[in-house]
Amino acid sequence: MKTLIKAIPLLMASIGFASSALAGVHWGYEGSELPENWAQLSPEYQMCSLGKNQSPVDITGTIKAQIGELDAHYGQTSGTIVNNGHTVQITEKNPNDYLIVNGEKYNLIQFHFHAPSENKINGKSYPMEGHFVHANENGDLLVMAVMFDEGTENTSAEQLLSLLSEQENKPTSFENINIASFLPKDKSYYRFSGSLTTPPCSEGVTWIVLKNPMTLSKSEIDKFAHAFKHHNNRPIQPLNGRIIISNE
Ligand SMILES: [Zn+2]
């Protein structure tokens, strides 16, 4: 539980509680609140322009290294789904899904979606990107990103979308949905250091981007896009000498 308590303030700031009384200044993707202006909206958001290890990035010039396979323990989960005004977010009730990366355990706390994708792979953008936000017992964050192409429907996405309220900030509960179905069988990945892609753009986040995309049907992508109302992807940020490692 220690993990979650430490990670929660950061996560709340990152996922759109800014519009409530809980946290800072409102931000968005359009008009005067667009990403290029985030750092000017509040001193708390200064990393959005001062940071040198910002996300998202275009994944190019990768270096192969023996960093081991990704060990994902995802299964049936219960929780809530909400349109928080920035994204559609799923939060686990009793976090019991986790990843083992380099022998370190990271518990899944929440996941959410961006359309189009935020990261690119060799210049290629995808219709959607899922961000699975994890924390280890020290509260260090790790985001595992999964790209989505248009194609076959995803049954778990269908189940979740059917429960999504039309109203913003109105969470609905769900029980026993299999979230392993959001992950490809082949979990080859890229790894690099980055930041939250939303204010306060905090750095020190480990990013794992899976190489193999999954699919969502056109209707599922349209439902997400309808909930977002507009694109919710921060523009690509400079690598500034960062190295992107490929696990094979
Ligand atoms: Zn995200």
CATH number for the domain harbouring residue 237:
3.10.200.10
Ligand 1 centre from 55 Cα, in Å?
10
Round to whole Å and give the CA distance between 32 and 42: 13
Question: What is the Å distance from ligand 1's center to 248 Cα?
Answer: 25
Q: Which residues pair with 92 in a beta bridge?
A: 79
Confidence band, pLDDT 50/70/90 cuts, at residue 11? low
The greatest distance separating any two alpha carbons of the chain, rounded to the nearest whole angstrom, comes to 46
How many angstroms separate the alpha carbon of residue 122 from the centre of ligand 1? 19
Window from 95-104, 107-116, 130-139, 143-152 with minimum mean pLDDT:
95-104
Question: Separation of 63 CA from ligand 1 center, angstroms?
Answer: 25
Q: How many C-beta neighbours within 10 Å does residue 44 have?
A: 17
Candidates 86, 112, 114, 131; catalytic one? 86
Residue with tokens 């109203």: 167
Pairing of strands 88-92, 104-114: antiparallel
Q: Is the dihedral of CA 164, 168, 173, 179 positive or negative?
A: positive
Total number of domains constituting the chain: 1
Which one-letter DSSP state was computed for residue 29?
A: S
Q: How many other CB atoms sit within 10 Å of the CB of residue 54? A: 24
> pLDDT value at position 238?
98
- Beta strand extents in 84-231 (DSSP E only): 88-92, 98-101, 104-114, 120-121, 128-135, 141-150, 172-178, 189-195, 203-210, 214-216
What is the whole-number distance in angstroms between the Cα of residue 128 and the centre of ligand 1? 11
Strand 189-195 and strand 203-210: the pairing is antiparallel
pLDDT tens, position by position, 166-194: 899 999 999 999 999 999 999 999 999 99
Tell me the per-residue pLDDT of 193-247, one tens digit each, with 9 for 90 and over: 999 999 999 999 999 999 999 999 999 999 999 999 899 999 999 999 999 999 9
Q: How far is the CA of 112 from the centre of ligand 1 (A)?
A: 6
Q: Phi and psi for 191 in degrees, rounded to 5?
A: -135, 135
| Per-residue confidence band for 46, with pLDDT thresholds at 50, 70 and 90 | very high
Distance 185 CA to ligand 1 centre (A): 22
Cβ proximity of 115 and 83 under 8 Å = no
Q: Tokens in use for 129? A: 């990107």
Question: Whole domain around residue 229: which residue ranges?
Answer: 2-246
Strands 245-246 and 189-195: antiparallel
Give the length of the chain. 248
- Is position 86 annotated as part of the catalytic site? yes
User: Which of 24-33, 114-123, 128-137, 147-156 is the least confident region?
Assistant: 24-33
Question: What spacing in Å lies between the alpha carbon of 6 and ligand 1's midpoint?
Answer: 19
